[in-house]
């Protein structure tokens, strides 16, 4: 049994990291008043392009950068449409999902099911030797530690810095930000790009570290779970860590239970993450009196300066 729990805890960060990264990207974007439902698509292009780089013999770090840029490129399409051409955010987000799945599906056709040598857990000398704790806290791969730093950076950037104050103002009340001399469109577009970078990285993590392979449909709804996670975390970075660990923990337990063998219906196990997501969306509304989802007030609102009041 202790073996079971140990393996479960060691693997949890691997499942939590991509969710957290995508969730952070969505938080940055939403704080500027833009809901990018395209996370699933951006993760797909990130995952696929990262593997392509590795398969063509390039180093892993380059694969990570390319994955991020691929996510940002797709985000740019979304951003140009929603920020500059004022298209509907929800609809454009769905288009972004379709484009991401379409592009990665079409172009990734010849790279599918080819295992790669990706990120492995690192060793931090004697720290990693500590029984139990060593492996869990000091034996993860580099991207997991990078994600911790990114979370801190997002928190500081959004909630502590002056730029973050402006970003949140753009998301809460674009016309107020505008009349204070802030370039609303520039902030919104930049936030969309940062969101794309992080979602691309999340996808890259799935293919370069977690799966070490590219398969179509490998994102399997994680982009949508990340959106639910962001809602659950009320668009704040630190609660997102907690949420990502809960979800990562749930996902990590599925293969553990499978290895136990026995007569457990596998497809019902696989439903767990989705059902859990539904549960966390509903529970606060049912049990917490006066629960507000705290969305930025300007979310989904198109900004046109010369709109007549």
Structure tokens at 233: 């975390």
Nearer to another protein, 135 or 166 (CB): 166
Nearest to 196, CA basis, from 53, 80, 57, 114: 80
What are the counts of helices (DSSP H) followed by strands (DSSP E) for the chain? 13, 0
> Within positions 103 to 132, which residues make up the interface with another protein, using CB under 8 A?
103-106, 109
Nearer to another protein, 104 or 190 (CB): 104
- 224 contributes a contact to another protein by CB under 8 A: yes
The one among 26, 51, 70, 97 contacting another protein by CB under 8 A: 97
17, 205 in Cβ contact below 8 A? yes
- 177 contributes a contact to another protein by CB under 8 A: yes
CA torsion sign for 134, 138, 141, 147 is: positive
Q: Which stretch binds another protein (CB under 8 A): 20-28, 61-69, 188-196, 290-298?
A: 290-298
Nearer to another protein, 5 or 91 (CB): 91
Written in H, E and C, the secondary structure of 247-309 is HHHHHHHHHHHHHHCCCCCHHHHHHHHHHHHHHHHHHHHHHCCCCCCCCCCCCCCCCCCCCCC
The one among 57, 125, 131, 181 contacting another protein by CB under 8 A: 181
Query: What is the number of other CB atoms lying within 10 angstroms of the CB of residue 244?
Result: 28
227, 40 in Cβ contact below 8 A? no
> Within positions 44 to 83, which residues make up the interface with another protein, using CB under 8 A?
77, 81
Q: How far is the CB of 245 from another protein (least distance, A)?
A: 20
- 263 contributes a contact to another protein by CB under 8 A: no
Nearer to another protein, 123 or 186 (CB): 186
How far is Cα 306 from Cα 309, in angstroms, rounded to an integer?
9
Structure tokens at 230: 């962001």
Residues that bind another protein (CB under 8 A): 37, 77, 81, 85-88, 90-92, 94-95, 97-99, 101-106, 109, 162, 165-166, 168-169, 172-173, 175-182, 216, 220-221, 224-225, 227-228, 231, 265, 267-268, 270-271, 274-275, 277-278, 281-282, 285-286, 290, 293, 297, 304-309
């Amino acid at each position: 049994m202790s073996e079971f729990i140990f393996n479960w805890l060691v693997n949890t960060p691997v499942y939590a990291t991509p969710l957290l990264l995508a969730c952070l990207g969505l938080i940055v974007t939403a704080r500027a008043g833009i809901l990018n439902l395209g996370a699933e698509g951006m993760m797909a292009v990130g995952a696929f392009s990262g593997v392509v780089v590795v398969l063509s013999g390039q180093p892993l770090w380059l694969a990570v950068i390319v994955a991020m840029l691929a996510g940002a490129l797709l985000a740019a399409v979304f951003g140009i449409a929603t920020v500059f051409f004022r298209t509907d955010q929800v609809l454009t987000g769905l288009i972004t999902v379709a484009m991401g799945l379409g592009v990665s599906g079409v172009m990734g056709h010849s790279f599918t099911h080819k295992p790669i040598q990706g990120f492995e857990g690192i060793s931090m000398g004697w720290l990693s030797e500590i029984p139990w704790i060593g492996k869990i806290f000091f034996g993860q791969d580099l991207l997991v530690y990078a994600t911790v730093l990114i979370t801190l950076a997002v928190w500081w950037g959004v909630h502590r810095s002056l730029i973050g104050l402006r970003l949140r103002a753009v998301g809460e009340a674009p016309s107020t930000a505008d009349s204070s001399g802030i370039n609303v469109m520039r902030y919104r577009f930049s936030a969309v790009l940062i969101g794309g970078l992080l979602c691309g990285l999340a996808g890259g993590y799935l293919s370069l570290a977690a799966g070490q392979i590219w398969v179509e449909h490998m994102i399997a709804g994680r982009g949508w779970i990340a959106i639910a996670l962001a809602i659950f975390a009320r668009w704040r970075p630190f609660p997102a860590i907690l949420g990502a660990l809960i979800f990562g923990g749930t996902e990590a337990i599925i293969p553990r239970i499978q290895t136990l063998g026995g007569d457990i219906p596998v497809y019902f196990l696989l439903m767990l993450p989705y059902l859990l997501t539904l549960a966390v969306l509903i529970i606060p509304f049912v049990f917490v009196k006066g629960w507000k989802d705290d969305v930025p007030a300007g979310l989904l609102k198109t900004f046109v300066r010369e709109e007549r009041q």
